Amino acid sequence: MEPEDAHSLLLGLVALPLEYLAVVTRGGEVLGAAVLSSRGLVFSQVADMGVVDAVAEDLAALPMAVPGVNGPPAASLRFAERWTAGGNRRRWAMRVHRADAVISPVGVPGCFREATRADRDVLVAWCAGFAADTGGLDEVDPEAAVDAWLAQPGSTWLWTDGGRPLSMARYGSPTPNSVRISAVYTPGDLRGRGYAGACVAALTKRLLLSEGWRFTTLFTDLANPISNRLYARLGYRPVCDMDHYRFAPSAALRSSNYPDKGNSPAYQRPLKFSW
């Protein structure tokens, strides 16, 4: 929970079925946490790299595949180097942003509305486009993803003009005080006209003012300066950076040896987590 904004991804995952959850302590002090979902391991903010070693040692003794790791840059790199023997690559360098208020753009034609099942074909195409743009097309089934979105009323929204969908954004992964905006996408031929900014601003405003969340978060790709500037203009401010490594299939079930096992913080499992 501290800091909640930096842990929006991890806290959102806790509400879902998990394969693994670890809390690392030393002398009763919580040093860090990690969860393993189908997409990989996610670390909390970590100051002591012994947290990474303790989690890796624990996982190495369990019959679990680890397809990748996501977390603070130093922690992600340390785990990737120790878990694999060169069978990994950094897929994304990301930045977490937070908004407590929103600055709505002006002069963008159109209006904001919830997506419905009638929009399914558009959403499937856009979901595939988003996955292709972010390098995750091999990890996403667009049709299954959109069906899951539509099964959650109020989660997916569109910016439209004259009835034509122009941009999308959705939210989910609730923490005690926030939700995370994701899947922000505008087709290539419609970009540069402010539609994505208008859509995200409208969704942020709804979440903060109508639904009562204290703040919202979102992730940006550090390789995309346009989106980082866009969200800053809407009132989002940087919180922290996170790196995502994807492991080769041959490395997912393999781990390094840990001869310095005795130097890691004490850990215990299983643990339950709730707020």
**180 pLDDT above the threshold of 80:** yes
pLDDT bucket at 265, cuts 50 / 70 / 90:
very low
Helix/strand/coil for 181: strand
pLDDT in tens, 213-253: 999 999 999 988 888 999 999 999 999 999 999 887 766 66
The reported pLDDT for the residue numbered 100 is 98
Mean pLDDT of 39-53: 93
Mean pLDDT of 17-41: 90
Question: Contact, 92 vs 134, CB < 8 A?
Answer: yes
Percentage above 70 pLDDT, the chain = 88
Specify the higher pLDDT residue, 268 or 216. 216
pLDDT bucket at 182, cuts 50 / 70 / 90:
very high
pLDDT bucket at 258, cuts 50 / 70 / 90:
very low
Question: Contact, 204 vs 181, CB < 8 A?
Answer: yes
CATH tag, 102-234: 3.40.630.30
How would you classify the pairing of strands 178-185 and 215-221? parallel
pTM (two decimals)? 0.87
pLDDT bucket at 90, cuts 50 / 70 / 90:
confident
Ranges in the chain annotated CATH 3.40.630.30: 102-234
List, in sequence order, every residue forming a beta bridge with 70; answer none if it has no partner: 42, 244
Question: Contact, 199 vs 159, CB < 8 A?
Answer: yes
The reported pLDDT for the residue numbered 266 is 40
Chain length of the chain: 275
Range with top average pLDDT, 29-43, 114-128, 133-147:
114-128
pLDDT in tens, 186-213: 999 999 999 999 999 999 999 999 999 9
**274 pLDDT above the threshold of 60:** no
Matching residue, tokens 């299954």: 144
List, in sequence order, every residue forming a beta bridge with 126; answer none if it has no partner: none
Mean pLDDT of 40-69: 92
CATH ID of 8-95+243-263, from 3.30.160, 3.30.2450, 3.40.630, 1.20.58: 3.40.630
